[in-house]
Structure formats: structure tokens, C-alpha cells
Amino acid sequence: MLRLAVFVSGRGSNLKAILEHSELENLIKVVVVFSDKVECGAFEIARKYGIETKVIGKGDNKISNENLLDVLRNYNLDLIVLAGYLKLVPVELVREYENRIINIHPALLPSFGGKGMYGMNVHTAVFNSSAKVSGATVHFVNAEYDKGKIIAQRCVDISDVKSAEEIAERVLKIEHQILPEVIKAFAEKRILVQDNRVIIKS
């Protein structure tokens, strides 16, 4: 079984999609959920599934960024999934888990990414750009926001939307498909990094 940590900051619908994806049931185990928030929807979901939760930050009962790597090592992880995690991951983590940290981004990178491009900011920018398609991207994480190698993308037609919220709704549906699919491919060792490209073998 692939041992996973999921990093979250919000409602946790992507975490839920991972936990409820039937094809992942015998392939992965989410052993811990980390958040920069003391409380969030994703923690409620984690607790419902009996998964340990940990808060990253400064202060009592929190794990500082400096201690994060040591804490993670104790879990013997195979993969770290950023599912709506809003903070930059410390560079030591990126080094230690090279090509083993993935992020889901709610747009088609390399457009509409980078610092400050999260949540509704992304969808508002897409809406205001008058783009006719949006979508979701799963990519490896490096030291910069949304800049790691792209693993998978899926598009959705947004030519008829009336609001950024409508884009968010359509993209979220895609996110819930594409993220579990990439995790499955990772568990089945079907993801190959070759030079600057990432290939998913069928």
C-alpha cells in the first residue's frame, strides 16, 4: 500500500474524492492530514475516516516548518499530495521528496498560476480573460508556486459560463477525477519522468 500524507487548507473536497475513490481502496492509505489551519472542513473529513490530523504553524501543539521534515519521516511516506494547501512547501521537503509531492491546481498551467493564484482568484482571472476553456492540472511540486513539471491536465468548456463561480463548479468536478487518477497511476508506478516531460503509461 502506498502511504500518503495529504496537505490541505480548506473544505477538503479533493481529500474526500481521494478517500472515496473505489479504485484507490486497495492501493493507498492516507496516514496523516496536515493543515496550516487549526480547523477546516478537510480535518472533519479526516477525522470521520479516523485519519490523524496535524497543524503546521507556530505555537503550542503545532509543527513548525523547521520540524516538518522530521515529523514526515516518521510516517514513512511514499507520496505527499497537496490538495488545496495554500502555503509554499519548505524547500528541504521538495528536495527529500523529489517527484513524490504532487499538487492539484484549478486551471490549465502554466497559465493562471503562481503566488496569489488560488481558489476564486484563479477562476475570476480565467473568467475575466474570456478564456473559452479551463481545467485542472496535477503537477509535481518544486520550490516555486505552480511551476513543477505537469503530470496530467483535463479541460472543460467554459464558453457559456455567466460567472467565475460557474467555472469553479465545473473545474472542481474535473479535479475530483484527475487527482485520484494520477494517484492511482503513481501507486501503479506508471508515472515516468523523462527529461522535461512526465509520461503516464497506460
Q: Show the site string, 76-105: x = touches ligand GRF by CB under 6 A, - = not.
A: -------xx-------------------xx
Q: Cell numbers 516518521 correspond to what residue?
A: 74
Task: Give least dist CB 84 to ligand GRF, A.
Answer: 3
Judge whether 123 counts as a catalytic residue.
Answer: no
Between CA 185 and CA 112 the distance in angstroms is: 26
Q: If you write DSSP's letter for every residue of 77-114 in order, what string do you get?
A: -SEEEESS--SPPPHHHHHHTTT-EEEEESS-TTTT-S
Binding mask 30-69 for ligand GRF (x = CB under 6 A): ------------x---------------------------
Restricting to residues 160-189, which ones interact with ligand GRF according to CB under 6 A?
172, 175
133 or 192: CB nearest ligand GRF: 133
Contact window for ligand GRF (CB under 6 A) among 8-16, 89-97, 154-162, 180-188: 8-16
Q: Which residues between 114 and 153 bind ligand GRF (CB under 6 A)?
A: 118-119
Q: What is the DSSP string of 5-72?
A: EEEESS--HHHHHHHH-GGGTTTEEEEEEEESSSS-HHHHHHHHTT-EEEEBSSSTT-B-HHHHHHHH
Residue number with the smallest Cβ distance to ligand GRF: 84
Whole-angstrom Cα distance, residue 25 to residue 113?
A: 31
Piece in contact with ligand GRF (CB under 6 A), picked from 7-15, 26-34, 67-75, 182-190: 7-15
Smaller CB separation from ligand GRF, 13 or 124: 13
What distance, in Å, lies between the first and last C-alpha atoms of the chain? 20
Residues in contact with ligand GRF by the rule CB under 6 A = 8, 10-14, 42, 83-84, 104-106, 118-119, 172, 175
The catalytic residues are 105
